[in-house]
C-alpha cells in the first residue's frame, strides 16, 4: 500500500469505533494465510483474534476457497423472495441438525446485529400474535453485548456496552445484574435471585430474556456458571417469557461445546448465530426458532413474519457456511479446542502474578487477561506488533480467540507475547 492510500484511509474511511479527527493507526494487511496476517511491510503477524471470533479454520482454507469459487461461478446472489436455492436449503438442514433440539425454523440474514434484531422482532411479533401485545419489553443481564443496531444496542450493558450516550433514544428494558458465579465455581443460588425477582414482578410486560450463554463477550469477556443458564431457562418457562440465546460469538465450538447452551443442555426459544458461521469468510447470520413460535407468528394478524433483507440467504455466503460446517464436523475440533484451552491456561498463568493484572481466565479457545486499568491502545498495538502477533485489546481486556487449527508452538508464542507485553505496558 502506498503512503497516499494509507493517508486516504486515515482521512476518509471509518474503521470500527474510531475517530476521524484522531484516528488510531491501522496496519496494512495484504493477505492472510493459516493463522497469519501478512502486512505490506513484509512482516507477518500471528493472529490472536481470528478476525473477531470468526476465522475458526484459519485463513485461506482450500476447502472454503473451493466452495466459494464453485458457488461464485454458478450463482453469487439471487433474491430470496419467491426464489430458493440449494445452498440455503443445505445450510438450514445443517443448522437445524447441529443446534439444540426444537430449533427447526431458520431465518437467514446479513450480520450478527441483524440476527439479533430479527430475534427481538420474532419475540414481539409472537406475543402480538397471541393477543399479548403488552409483553413489549425485554429482560437482560448487565455486561452483555448484542450488536450495534438500535434494538440490539438497547440490550447491551448500559454503561459498558459502548452505547450509554444513546440512552435517551433507546427503548427501556429490564436489566438484572450480570451472573457472578464463575464457570467452574460452586453455584450460588443467590446469583439469580434478582433476575427471578424482575421476572416475577414484570413478566406480564416481558417478551423475552436475551442473553449470551456462558460467555459474555464484548461487554466484559466474562465466563459464568452453566447453572445460571439452567435456572434462567426454568424461570422463563415458569413466567411465560421467551429465551433468546445470542450465540453469535460462542457458536461453532468456541467454548468447547458446539454451542454454549450445550454446557447446560438447554434449548432456547430463539437462537442467534453469526461470526464463525462462514468460517470468517463472508458476512452471514441466522436466527433459529421453534415450530410453535414460527407458526404462531405466521397465523397471527400479519399472516407472515415481517422481515426480509435484500441479501437474505445469499448463496455465496451459504455455500461457504456449508463448507465451514462440514469442515468443522469432520475435524477433531473438540480436542483442538480443549488442547488450546490447556495451553492458554498454562501460557497465561504467569500474568496472574503481575502487579497490573486483575484476573486471568480461559475457557475453550478464549484467553483473557484483565488489567486493573485500561490499556493505551496505540502503544499496546505497537508492542504486540513488535512481538510479531496481532492482539487487539479493548479497555482493560487483553484477550485472544485463536483459530482452532493453531499449532501448540504458535499458541505458546502468542501467550508468551501477551504476558511479555502486559508486563511491560
Ligand X SMILES: *Cc1c(COP(=O)(O)O)cnc(C)c1O
Binding site for ligand X (CB under 6 A): 111-113, 116, 145-147, 212, 217-218, 246, 248-249, 274-275
**Which residues sit opposite 272 in a β-bridge?**
246, 287
Cβ proximity of 307 and 82 under 8 Å: no
The CA distance from 126 to 105, in Å, is: 14
Which one, of 236, 262, 270, lies nearest residue 117 by Cα? 270
Which of 145/384 has CB closer to ligand X? 145
Cβ proximity of 309 and 110 under 8 Å: yes
DSSP string of 355-389? Answer: TTEEEEEEETTEEEEEESS---HHHHHHHHHHTTE
**Residues 157, 191, 246, 262: which is the catalytic one?**
246
Q: Kind and range of the H or E element at 272?
A: strand 270-273
- CB of residue 73 to ligand X, shortest distance in Å: 27
Which of 266/417 has CB closer to ligand X? 266
- CB of residue 148 to ligand X, shortest distance in Å: 6
- CB of residue 179 to ligand X, shortest distance in Å: 15
User: Which of helix, strand or coil describes residue 32?
Assistant: strand
- CB of residue 7 to ligand X, shortest distance in Å: 28
CA angle 19/358/55 to nearest 5° reads 55
Which one, of 321, 315, 366, lies nearest residue 343 by Cα? 366
Which of 36/224 has CB closer to ligand X? 224
Which of 57/146 has CB closer to ligand X? 146
Strands (E), 98-228: 105-109, 137-141, 174-176, 206-211, 215-216, 222-223
Place of cell 440476527: 115
The CA distance from 226 to 264, in Å, is: 5
Here the cell at position 3 is 503512503
Our answer to whether residue 275 is catalytic in this structure is yes
Our answer to whether residue 73 is catalytic in this structure is no
The CA distance from 39 to 46, in Å, is: 11
Which of 47/117 has CB closer to ligand X? 117
Our answer to whether residue 376 is catalytic in this structure is no
Our answer to whether residue 126 is catalytic in this structure is no
Which of 85/254 has CB closer to ligand X? 254
**Residues 145, 174, 281, 399: which is the catalytic one?**
145
C-alpha separations of 177 from 189, 192, 195 in Å: 14, 9, 8
Which of 212/341 has CB closer to ligand X? 212
- CB of residue 145 to ligand X, shortest distance in Å: 5
Closest-by-Cβ residue to ligand X is 112
- CB of residue 114 to ligand X, shortest distance in Å: 7
Which of 187/311 has CB closer to ligand X? 311
**What does the CA dihedral 371, 373, 378, 380 come to, rounded to 10 degrees?**
-30
**Residues 94, 233, 257, 275: which is the catalytic one?**
275
- CB of residue 218 to ligand X, shortest distance in Å: 6
**Residues 17, 73, 168, 184: which is the catalytic one?**
17
Which one, of 148, 156, 117, lies nearest residue 309 by Cα? 117
- CB of residue 272 to ligand X, shortest distance in Å: 7
Cβ proximity of 313 and 108 under 8 Å: yes
Please state, as a whole number, how many other Cβ atoms lie within 10 Å of the Cβ of residue 5. 11
Residues catalogued as catalytic: 17, 145, 246, 275
Amino acid at each position: 500500500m502506498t503512503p497516499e492510500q494509507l493517508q486516504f484511509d486515515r482521512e476518509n474511511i471509518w474503521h470500527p469505533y474510531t475517530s476521524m479527527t484522531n484516528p488510531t493507526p491501522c496496519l496494512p494487511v495484504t493477505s492472510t494465510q493459516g493463522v497469519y496476517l501478512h502486512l505490506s511491510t513484509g512482516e507477518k503477524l500471528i493472529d490472536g483474534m481470528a478476525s473477531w471470533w470468526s476465522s475458526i479454520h484459519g485463513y485461506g482454507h482450500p476447502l472454503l476457497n473451493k466452495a466459494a469459487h464453485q458457488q461464485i461461478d454458478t450463482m453469487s446472489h439471487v433474491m430470496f423472495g419467491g426464489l430458493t436455492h440449494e445452498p440455503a436449503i443445505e445450510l438450514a438442514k445443517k443448522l437445524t441438525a447441529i443446534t439444540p433440539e426444537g430449533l427447526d425454523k431458520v431465518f437467514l440474514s446479513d450480520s450478527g446485529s441483524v440476527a439479533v434484531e430479527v430475534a427481538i422482532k420474532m419475540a414481539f411479533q409472537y406475543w402480538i400474535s397471541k393477543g399479548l401485545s403488552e409483553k413489549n419489553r425485554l429482560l437482560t443481564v448487565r455486561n452483555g453485548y448484542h450488536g450495534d443496531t438500535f434494538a440490539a444496542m438497547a440490550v447491551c450493558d448500559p454503561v459498558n456496552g459502548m452505547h450509554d450516550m444513546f440512552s435517551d433514544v433507546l427503548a427501556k428494558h429490564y436489566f438484572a445484574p450480570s451472573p457472578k458465579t464463575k464457570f467452574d465455581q460452586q453455584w450460588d443460588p443467590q446469583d439469580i435471585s434478582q433476575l427471578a425477582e424482575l421476572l416475577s414482578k414484570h413478566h406480564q410486560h416481558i417478551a423475552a430474556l436475551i442473553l449470551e450463554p456462558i460467555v459474555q463477550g464484548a461487554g466484559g469477556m466474562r465466563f459464568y456458571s452453566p447453572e445460571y443458564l439452567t435456572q434462567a431457562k426454568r424461570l422463563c418457562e415458569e413466567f411465560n417469557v421467551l429465551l433468546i440465546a445470542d450465540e453469535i460469538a460462542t457458536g461453532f465450538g468456541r467454548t468447547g461445546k458446539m454451542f454454549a447452551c450445550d454446557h447446560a443442555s438447554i434449548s432456547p426459544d430463539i437462537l442467534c448465530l453469526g461470526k464463525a458461521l462462514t468460517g470468517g469468510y463472508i458476512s452471514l447470520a441466522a436466527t433459529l426458532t421453534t415450530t410453535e413460535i414460527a407458526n404462531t407468528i405466521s397465523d397471527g394478524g400479519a399472516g407472515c413474519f415481517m422481515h426480509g433483507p435484500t441479501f437474505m440467504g445469499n448463496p455465496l455466503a451459504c455455500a461457504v457456511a456449508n463448507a465451514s460446517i462440514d469442515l468443522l464436523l469432520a475435524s477433531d475440533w473438540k480436542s483442538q479446542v480443549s488442547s488450546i484451552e490447556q495451553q492458554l491456561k498454562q501460557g497465561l498463568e504467569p500474568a496472574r502474578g503481575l502487579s497490573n493484572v486483575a484476573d486471568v481466565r480461559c475457557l475453550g479457545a478464549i484467553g483473557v487477561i484483565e488489567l486493573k486499568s485500561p490499556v493505551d491502545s496505540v502503544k499496546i498495538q505497537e508492542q504486540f506488533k513488535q512481538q510479531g502477533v496481532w492482539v487487539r485489546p479493548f479497555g482493560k481486556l487483553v484477550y485472544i480467540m485463536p483459530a482452532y487449527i493453531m499449532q501448540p508452538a504458535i499458541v505458546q508464542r502468542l501467550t508468551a507475547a501477551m504476558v511479555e507485553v502486559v508486563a511491560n505496558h
